[in-house]
């Protein structure tokens, strides 16, 4: 494999058949004072370089590759690397390839974790030359990853959390003589490494006092993620003793499982807790949608979606009621936004994201629809840029397609109001002359921050919104 | 099948009078009926054969009880017996244990049944895999006895098929332990003596247990016990990471065990091409509940007793220093197999075994203590140790029958494929890359490598099984295939295109023009041929020559 590693530098275009490749690493240009910039491939020995942390780049494994997925890190953080060793496996559009290091050193930090994707040329890890620099590189990596769009989930705390299993002394195996050595099963060792748990500090509760996977999970403060395969029903020599150990998390019902939050779910959770500090109130308003539905039928063939129609209507209404588009940042003042950016909640696999239609009041319906399609596509492939999901000034949430007739939304932090739209349903209405007729009615419910938006403001806004929807010709202008 | 058979029968009867001059193109066509596939013959009426045998008898000058006697009715003996009948030989097969031998009763066959279960368990347990298909499966479980029964039922079925196929063809199955009394003379059972023109020893092998290891059949076991699946331990150590160990690790981890490998060499899966074993380790070992100790011997293994677990003493393979003591629930000894050649009466014909193996030349003729060939005595299969695989034994047996019926034949062992039925499978034929490079250095030719990935294969992606690699080692100057190694979905079935090409001497520049159905996994191999850069042009195909004439 030494052959192929050198070929990476000498031949820029790479044959696809090679499955081992070396990453180009360079000295980081980041402004860490103790670092000196060194020209790539300089005579390292002659120079007095105090410390050096190299970035490991996502290599271009084929001419068509624009980004690569990390299949697996073959080394763990802190592990020593020798020149020519395979460090990481990268999946390109064609194959999985080993990426080798050009330098001796330590894998100081993994910036892009397994299963994540990074564009070609992006730093995926940091290589420290000496052990002393590992810490420094780690802090650097932390700043890197926190700025990344999808941050790798932080490792669970290695410190002991108040899991009930470890507060009890481990049963000492009967008949043990002398100081017992640590016996841990293969999976327990793997988990310990993965969760950075010192296996020596874990008390084993398995047969013969051995450390099992559930012991490590308890020590790491996580419940078993996947229920272990059922123990064989027949009596194996150890089956009875083993059974007792697999039930170490009392609060869980049998067959239930605990799945940790993804980064996105953590963000949602955090925002929801934060929202509790804002005093909100709600105002509902029934809106006649016959005209809107008729318009929708007309413009649907041109690619206009209901979301775009509603966003446009909300945008136009907000333009007349700037206070509903404002926010309260400090509890002391109104922050009026210069743009009307409508965030629209979208459920995506395992999460929720709010792509933002910027300047919804200004863009015409067709451009808005086009923009929306683009955003949804990006959201599904997790390629939204931060400004495309966090620049909203007002949020629209529509559950009408599920047949929901009305619901209540939680106000996202940093915004003044959120609109919850239910389904449009045929409703019997009586007019002022007592004549009954059937009209399509849709319940719109807005939640707002009462520090800045008062009841009358919201009611007036809704009235304007209803007028626009009921006379929707202005939407197409 | 019926028609194919009568055809070959008529041929052999025609060529019998001048057997030594047997037409060379008469035989190869029949080679495809080797091994277990001949079970299909079980239904051919034996009548024609009897008349054939009668003819043969009349024409014989010397008088033997049989033309051919085979000691051992494993897959090797079975393959030889069926081919011998086809060639018109009066054949007997001696079996001291059960028909089918190791492969059918304690090897390939029941292990495939267990692996079929483990493959399904693996799929059902892989939530991510199922989700990617849009499938929802609630918890997968298994019934150990049911799994074990599947394995033993399969073995029984194949054993019966094998027995019936031989009976139907008129092979005499003689029960008892066989041994060689002298030239062309065999004893079986208590004191039955028969004579035969030619004798094939096909006694196979038994699991090899290094000294210091106490096998109790419960917690310290060999593959013989493991295949019965009497228990699924929580934690099992597997000594040896070759085919057998690897396959069992696949079974045990799928059924919920954790596995510790103990390997004497410095890396796992030492027999495979290094690149394949690296990838295999990444897929078959690292993500599973498996850890390993390499470069160590298990110097002492004590079964679980008196409330103690199984204890395994590890010593350094080189320095022999004590390294570690493992405590596990069970240990599977998969350190290879030892030839089963004791009590064969080899001393009667002055043959000395080498580490138990019977020495043979490239035509499977037995070599005696003075380095001379023993006339009319052959040894095939695990007992000669050339290539310890069931289908190799069968091929060797067929090769011997070809020779004794007048057609010289030397089996090309480099064309015999091998497979490991893990999930995904591993298969190979010919040389590994280091072997090829060594040979190239010695003989002064260039070696090139072509590789393709299962990721680029439509069928593999449809199955959500894109993990895999195919690799071909070849000579760029003349297009000769030196070796092919495949790791991926159905690799064991994919290797034959390459092994046939090697056996028939087909060159890459010719085979690359052959067409493969799309979308199939076979395109992985097709891509290999197409990716190769061969300097010589394709030869004119025989068909086009014929068409031109």
Look at the domain A186-219 and name its fold: Dihydrolipoamide Transferase (4.10.320)
Alpha helices (H) along B457-512: 458-462, 491-494, 496-504, 508-511
Spatial contact of A58 and A121, defined as CB atoms under 8 Å apart: yes
pLDDT at res. A223: 62
Tens of pLDDT, residue by residue over B170-217, are 999 999 999 999 999 999 998 899 999 999 999 999 999 999 999 999
Q: Is B139 on the interface with A (CB under 8 A)?
A: yes
Which residues of chain A have a CB within 8 Å of the CB of B127? 226
**Which of B491, B485, B484, B470 minimizes the C-alpha distance to B423?**
B491
Cβ <8 Å between A95 and B144: no
CB atoms A226 and B127 under 8 Å: yes
- Asked if A412 and A390 count as a contact pair (C-beta separation under 8 A), the reply is no
Two tokens at A419?
């609109």
Is B391 annotated as contributing to ligand binding? Answer: yes
Cα–Cα distance measured from residue A266 to residue A248, given in angstroms and rounded to the nearest whole number: 26
Query: Which range has the worst mean pLDDT, A67-81, A322-336, B362-376, B502-516?
Result: A67-81
Q: Is B322 on the interface with A (CB under 8 A)?
A: no
pLDDT for position A173: 40
Question: What's chain B's average pLDDT?
Answer: 87
Residues of A within 8 A of B531 (CB-CB) are 17
pLDDT mean over A205-224: 83
Positions of B annotated as catalytic residues are: 518
DSSP A396-453: EEE-GGGT------PPPTT-SEEEEEEEEEEEEEE-TTS-EEEEEEEEEEEEEETTT-
pLDDT of B18 higher than 90: no
Residues of chain A contacting B325 with CB distance shorter than 8 Å = 181
pLDDT category at B20 given cuts 50, 70, 90 is: very low
* Cα–Cα dist A183/B325, whole Å: 10
Structure-model confidence comparison of residues A243 and A340, the more confident one: A340
Minimal CA separation from A458 to chain B, in Å: 44
Q: Where are the domains positioned within chain A?
A: 54-141, 186-219, 276-475
Question: Phi, psi (5° rounding) for residue B252?
Answer: -65, -40
The answer to whether B255 contacts A229, with C-beta atoms less than 8 Å apart, is yes
Mean pLDDT check: name the lowest of A47-56, B72-81, B424-433, B514-523.
A47-56
Domains and CATH numbers, chain B: 66-207+338-411 (3.50.50.60), 220-335 (3.50.50.60), 414-531 (3.30.390.30)
**Residue A21: alpha-carbon gap to chain centroid:** 30
pLDDT in tens, B218-273: 999 999 999 999 999 999 999 999 989 999 999 999 999 999 999 999 889 888 99
Q: Answer yes or no: are the C-beta atoms of B395 and B380 closer than 8 Å.
A: no
User: CA-nearest residue of chain B to A206?
Assistant: B234
Which residue has tokens 């003075």? B370
- Rg, C-alpha atoms of chain B: 25
pLDDT at A250: 57
What CATH number does domain A54-141 carry, 2.40.50.100, 2.30.30.100, 2.170.120.12, 1.10.1200.10? 2.40.50.100
B268 has binding-site annotation:
no
DSSP labels, A209-269: G-B-HHHHHHHHT---SSPPPPPPSS--TTHHHHHHHT---TTSPTT----PPPHHHHHHH
Q: Is B148 labelled a binding residue?
A: no
Question: Does this chain's domain A186-219 share its CATH topology with A276-475?
Answer: no
Q: What is the ipTM of this complex?
A: 0.76
Lowest mean pLDDT among A145-159, B69-83, B319-333, B371-385: A145-159
* pLDDT band with cut points at 50, 70 and 90 for residue B522: very high
pLDDT band (50, 70, 90) for residue B103: very high
pLDDT of A148 higher than 60: no
* Nearest in space to B28 (alpha carbons), one of B435, B418, B399: B399
Q: CB–CB of B258 and A242 under 8 A?
A: no
Q: Which of B287, B286, B274 is nearest to A20 (CA)?
A: B274
A327-331, A471-475, B432-436: which has the highest mean pLDDT? B432-436
Among 3.20.20.100, 3.30.559.10, 3.40.50.920, 1.10.510.10, what is the CATH number of A276-475?
3.30.559.10
Instruction: Tell me the two tokens of residue A86.
Output: 């395979």
Q: Going along A278-405, which residue ranges are E strands?
A: 280-288, 342-344, 346-348, 351-353, 356-357, 394-398
Average the pLDDT over each of A102-111, B12-21, B326-335 and give the range with the smallest value: B12-21
A195 is catalytic: no
Please indicate whether, in this complex, the C-beta atoms of A237 and B233 are within 8 angstroms of each other: yes
The share of chain B scoring above pLDDT 70, in percent, equals: 87
**Does the CB of B289 have a partner CB in chain A at under 8 Å?**
yes
User: Is residue B295 part of an annotated ligand binding site?
Assistant: no
Confidence class for position A383, pLDDT limits 50, 70, 90: confident
pLDDT digits (tens, 9 = 90+) for B286-342: 899 999 999 999 999 999 988 899 999 999 999 999 999 999 999 999 999 999 999
């Amino acid at each position: 494999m030494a052959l192929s590693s050198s070929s990476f530098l000498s031949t820029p275009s790479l044959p696809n058949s090679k499955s081992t490749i070396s990453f180009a690493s360079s000295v980081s240009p980041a402004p860490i004072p103790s670092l000196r910039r060194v020209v790539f491939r300089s005579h390292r020995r002659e120079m007095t370089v105090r410390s050096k942390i190299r970035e490991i780049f996502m290599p271009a494994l084929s001419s068509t590759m624009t980004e690569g997925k990390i299949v697996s890190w073959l080394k763990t953080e802190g592990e020593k690397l020798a020149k020519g060793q395979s460090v990481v496996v990268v999946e390109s559009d064609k194959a999985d390839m080993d990426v080798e290091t050009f330098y001796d050193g330590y894998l100081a930090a993994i910036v892009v974790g397994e299963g994540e994707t990074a564009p070609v040329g992006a730093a995926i890890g940091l290589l420290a030359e000496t052990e002393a620099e590992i810490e420094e590189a780690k802090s650097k990596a932390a700043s890197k990853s926190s700025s990344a769009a999808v941050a790798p989930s932080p490792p669970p705390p290695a410190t002991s959390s108040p899991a009930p299993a470890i507060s009890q002394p481990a049963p000492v195996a009967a008949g043990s003589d002398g100081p017992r050595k640590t016996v841990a099963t293969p999976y327990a060792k793997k988990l310990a490494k993965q969760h950075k748990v010192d296996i020596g500090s874990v008390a084993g509760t398995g047969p013969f006092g051995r450390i099992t996977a559930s012991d490590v999970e308890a020590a790491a403060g996580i419940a078993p993620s996947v229920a272990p395969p059922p123990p064989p029903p027949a009596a194996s020599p150890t089956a009875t003793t083993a059974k007792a150990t697999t039930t170490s998390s009392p609060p869980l019902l049998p067959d239930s499982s605990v799945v940790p939050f993804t980064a996105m779910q953590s963000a949602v959770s955090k925002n929801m807790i934060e929202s509790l500090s804002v005093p909100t109130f709600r105002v509902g308003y029934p809106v006649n949608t016959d005209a809107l539905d008729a318009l929708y039928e007309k413009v649907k063939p041109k690619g206009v979606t209901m979301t775009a129609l509603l966003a446009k209507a909300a945008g136009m209404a907000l333009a007349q009621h700037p206070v509903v588009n404002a926010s309260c940042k400090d509890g002391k003042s109104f922050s009026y936004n210069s743009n009307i950016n409508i965030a629209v909640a979208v459920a995506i696999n395992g999460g929720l994201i709010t792509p933002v239609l910027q300047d919804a009041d200004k863009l015409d319906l067709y451009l808005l629809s086009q923009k929306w399609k683009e955003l949804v596509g990006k959201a599904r492939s997790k390629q939204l840029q931060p400004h495309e999901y966090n620049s909203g000034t007002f949020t629209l949430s529509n559950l009408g397609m599920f047949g929901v007739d009305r619901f209540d939304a939680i106000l996202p932090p940093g915004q003044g109001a959120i609109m919850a739209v239910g389904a449009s349903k045929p409703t019997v209405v009586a007019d002022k002359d007592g004549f009954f007729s059937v009209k399509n009615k849709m319940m719109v419910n807005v939640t707002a921050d009462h520090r800045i938006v008062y009841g009358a403001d919201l009611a007036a806004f809704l009235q304007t919104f209803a007028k626009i929807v009921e006379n929707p010709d202005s939407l197409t202008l | 099948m019926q028609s194919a058979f009568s055809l070959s029968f008529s041929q052999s009867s025609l060529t019998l009078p001048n057997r030594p001059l047997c037409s060379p193109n008469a035989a190869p066509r029949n080679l495809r009926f080797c091994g277990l596939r001949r079970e299909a013959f079980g239904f051919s009426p034996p009548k024609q054969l009897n008349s054939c045998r009668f003819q043969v008898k009349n024409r014989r000058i010397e008088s033997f009880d049989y033309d051919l006697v085979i000691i051992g009715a494993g897959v090797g003996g079975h393959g030889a017996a069926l081919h011998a009948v086809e060639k018109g030989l009066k054949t007997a097969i001696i079996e001291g244990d059960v028909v089918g031998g190791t492969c059918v009763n304690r090897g390939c066959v029941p292990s495939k049944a267990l692996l079929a279960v483990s493959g399904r368990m693996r799929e059902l347990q892989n939530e991510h895999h199922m989700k990617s298909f849009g499938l929802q499966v609630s918890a997968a479980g298994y019934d150990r006895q049911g799994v074990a029964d599947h394995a033993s039922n399969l073995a029984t079925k194949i054993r019966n098929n094998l027995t019936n196929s031989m009976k139907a063809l008129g092979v005499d199955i003689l029960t008892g332990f066989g041994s060689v009394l002298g030239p062309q003379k065999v004893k079986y059972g208590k004191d039955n003596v028969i004579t035969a023109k030619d004798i094939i020893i096909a006694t196979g092998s038994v699991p090899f247990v290094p000294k210091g290891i106490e096998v109790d059949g419960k917690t310290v076991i060999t593959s013989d016990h493991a295949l019965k699946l009497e228990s699924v331990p929580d934690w099992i150590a597997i000594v040896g990471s070759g085919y057998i160990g690897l396959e069992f690790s696949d079974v045990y981890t799928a059924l919920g065990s954790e596995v510790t490998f103990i390997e004497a060499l410095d890396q796992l899966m030492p027999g495979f091409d290094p690149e394949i074993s690296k990838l295999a380790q990444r897929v078959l070992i690292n993500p599973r509940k498996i850890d390993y100790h390499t470069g160590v011997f298990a110097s002492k293994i004590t079964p679980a007793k008196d409330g103690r677990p199984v204890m395994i003493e590890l010593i350094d393979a080189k320095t022999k220093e004590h390294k570690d003591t493992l405590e596990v629930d069970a240990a599977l000894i998969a350190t290879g197999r030892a030839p089963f050649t004791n009590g064969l009466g080899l001393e009667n014909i002055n043959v000395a075994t080498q580490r138990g193996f019977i020495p043979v030349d490239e035509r499977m003729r037995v070599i005696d203590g003075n380095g001379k060939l023993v006339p009319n005595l052959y040894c095939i299969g695990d007992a000669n140790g050339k290539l310890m695989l069931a289908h190799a034994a069968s091929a060797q047996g067929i090769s011997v029958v070809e020779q004794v019926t007048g057609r010289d034949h030397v089996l090309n062992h480099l064309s015999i494929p091998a497979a490991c039925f893990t999930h995904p499978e591993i298969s190979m034929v010919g040389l590994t890359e280091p072997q090829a490079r060594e040979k190239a250095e010695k003989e002064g030719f260039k070696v090139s490598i072509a590789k393709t990935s299962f990721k680029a294969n439509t069928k593999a992606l449809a199955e959500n099984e894109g993990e895999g690699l195919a690799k071909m080692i070849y000579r760029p100057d003349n297009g000769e295939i030196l070796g092919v190694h495949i790791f991926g979905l159905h690799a064991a079935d994919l290797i034959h295109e390459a092994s046939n090409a090697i056996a028939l001497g087909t060159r890459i520049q010719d085979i690359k023009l052959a067409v493969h159905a799309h979308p199939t996994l076979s395109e992985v191999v097709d891509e290999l041929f197409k990716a190769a850069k061969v300097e010589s042009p394709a030869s004119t195909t025989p068909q086009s020559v014929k068409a031109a004439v």
